Chains A and B, each alone.
Chain A
C-alpha cells in the first residue's frame, strides 16, 4: 500500500491549476490532467491477468508525468478485506433495463499512485466471484458493467478536480466511452484493449436494450461498440495492435488502428540486484553469481544436479499459452540435455499432462501447480531459458520479468512477444540488441528446433552472456509508455474539442456505396400468389395506402423483403449492413424481393426515391448461422426385419404387463456402426401432401 505520498504531491501540483482548464491546453503531449480509469480489475485487490497488473502500476507511472489518476473499481464481494471506506464520494441510482440500482461510491485508500473509488452496488457486485462463480459466468455481466460505466460517466462530471480524460479498460468499461459522447461539454475518451479475445458479446438487440444500440453500428459486443466511439483506442503492444486491427472490421470503420503501447514492469519488485526472494542477487556485471540460483531451483524441485540446461514455462495452463504444444514437444526436448520446470495452473487436462510428465521424469521435470509470485522470482533467476509458445499474447509480462533476471526467452513471434523479444539475425549472426529466440511457426517441431538452437548458443558462454546482458538491460519500465499514454490523452482531448465544434458526428463516418453487378440474381416479383392452388374467399386489399418496408431473414443466406410506397413511381432498393450497402434493384411502388445475403449478419433495406433521398428504412433482420453440419446427420438404419420373430403376446388389447417387457436390449444401436445421411425435417408430414 504505497503511493499516497506520490499522489499527494501530484494533488498539490494539479489542484486548482489554471492548466486544468481544457481550453488552456494543447493536445499534443500536454502538461497533464485528471484521468478517470474505469476497470473491472486492479492489482493487488483483484487481478486475473494483464488488466489488473496494468491498473496496479500504470497510475504511478502516469503520476510521474503529471497525470493524476482516479480508478473506479467495483466493490466485489471478494474485496471485503478492503476496509469499508469511510468517505462517500457519490450516491445515487442508475437505471438499466428498466430496473433501478442504488449505488454508492466510496473513496478507497490511495494506492499505487491513484485515488481508488469503489463502486458499491451489492445487488450486482457483492458476490464471491469477479465475472462468475463455480456455476459459470454471471448471467447479468452486461448489466453489472453497464452500471459501472453509467456511474463512471456521471462521476466524470462530478469529481473534483474535473476529469479531463475518461480511460476505459477492456470491454467492461467500454460502454462508458459510448455514453460519454453525449456529455456537453465533451469529454475525451480513451479505450484500452488488454485482451481482444474477451469482448463482452451480448448481441445487438441486447446492446440496443442497454441503450448502446445504434442501428447503423449493429455490433454485438461492448468492446466493439466502444472501439467505434472512443476518441482514441490503444492496446498493449504494437504488434498486437496490428493483429487485432487486421482481424476486426471495427477498426476499418473507425478509420484507424489502435495505438500499441507496451506494458511496463514495476522495477522495484522485479530487480535481481535486490530481490530477497532469490538465493543469490546479481546484476549484469556479476552474472556468474546467477548460477547459485539455478542450483537452488534444482534443489527446491528435486531435480538432478547435472550440467543440463534448465528451461521454464510459466503461465496459465490454457490453449492460448500453447502449453499443449510444449507438452507435445516434451519427448523431443527431453532427448536433449535439458531439464524443464512448469509453473502455473488452469485447464485440468493440461495440469494432468504436466503432472504425468513430472512423474515420468522426476529428475528432469519439475512442476509447481498453482501460482506463487515468490517462486516466479526464483524460477526466473534460476532458469536458463523461458519457453513461451503462446498462440497469441497481447503484451505478456512473464518474458519481461524473466529477462530482467537474465533468462533468455524462446517465444512464438506474436503480439507483445514480437515487440519485446528480439531474435538473433539470420545465419546466427548476433545483432546488437538480440535477447532471445523466435518460433515463426508454432509447432512442436519448431519449438524443439528453437530450443536446439538456443542450446548450441549456450555452449558459447560469451555469446550467451551478451544475450543475457541485452535482456537484462532492456527498458521494460513504464517510463516510455507513460509518455506515450500522455500523448494519447492529448490526442483524445483534441478530438473531443473537435467533436464539440462539429457535432453531431455521424456514428459511422463513411458508408461505402458498393453497387453490385449481380442485380439480375435478385428475383423481383409481382405480389400475387403463385398459381398452384385456387384462390377462394374474400379478396384482400391490393395495397394499404401506407408506407411499408419490411425485411425478414428466411434462412442464413436469404432475406425476404416487401414494400409499399403509395404514389412512388420508381424506387431504388438498397441492402445495407453496418458497414456497407449495395443496390439491389430498381423497383416499383409495391413489390417483394428475395435477396441473397450472408449468415450471422444484421441487415436492413432502404428505399430511395428518384432523387437519391432515402424514403424508407426497414426493420433489422439478423440472419442465423449458416446451415450447420448438424442439418445433415448420420444415423444407423435400424434393422427392418430382425431374425427370429418373437412370439406375439396374447394380452388383451390395450394392456401391456411389465412381465411382457424384455429388459433393455442392445438391439439395433444408433451410436456408431454403419451410417447413412438423413435430412432434418418433417418426413412424415411431407408424405401427407
Chain B
C-alpha cells in the first residue's frame, strides 16, 4: 500500500463511521431533563467559561505592550519639550545678538555706547583692582598679627611670671593660713557680739534676765549674713550669702551654750574645730593652744588656771 497523502488522510478522517447510541439513550436523556428541577447555579460556578475573554487570554502580552507604549509616549512628549526649549534658547540668543549689534548702527550722532561703556568698564575695573589690592594688604597684615599672637602665646605658656620656688610657695601658704585664722577669729567675735545683742534685745522686750538665743538661726537679724558662720579654712562647710538657702552644712562653728546666761563669762560659747579657737560668753575669742577646757555639769569652760 502506497503512503497516502495528507488529503486522503483528511478525507478518510472526515468520513469516519459514527458509533450509534443505544436506542433508549435519547428517551432517558429527555426524561432526565424534564424531571430535573431547574437549579440555580451561582454565578461563575460549575461550568467553565467556554472561551476566556480577550483580556484573559492576551493580558500577558497586553500589559508589557501597554507599558512600553506609555513609555514611548512620555519620551515623545519630553523630546518635544526639549526641542521647544532649544528653539527658545536659540531665539533668545539671536535677539540678544541682534540687539547688541543694533546699538552700533545708531546713526544720530550720539556718543557711541560701546566706547562709553568701555570707559565705564575700565574705570570700574580699576576701582575693583584698587579694592583688591587693599584687601590683600589687610590680609597679609592680619596674617602677620596672627603669627605674632601665636608666638606670644607660646612664650606665655612656657615662661609663667608667677612660678615660685618651693620656699616662696611655703611662705605664701603660711601667710594664707594666718589670714584665714584671723578671719576665723573675726567671725567668732561677730558671733559673740550677735549673741549679746540678741540677749539684750530679749531682755528689753520680755523683761527677763539676759538669756542667749536657743540656736544660731534665731540670730539672723543680728548676724546680718550667714557667711560669717563658715570658717575660711573649712572646705567641708562652704559659706552661703542667703538665709533662705542656709543649712547646718554652711556652719563650721559649734554653738555650745544655747539659752545660757551672761553670768558665766568663761563658759565656751562657740568653738572652731579647724583652728581650735573658742569664743567665750563674755565675747572674747581665744586660741585653745596654751589653755585647757574643763567640763562641769555638761558645760564647757575655759580653765583659767
Task: Tell me, yes or no, whether A binds B.
Answer: no
What residues make up the interface of A, taking CB atoms closer than 8 Å to B?
none
What residues make up the interface of B, taking CB atoms closer than 8 Å to A?
none
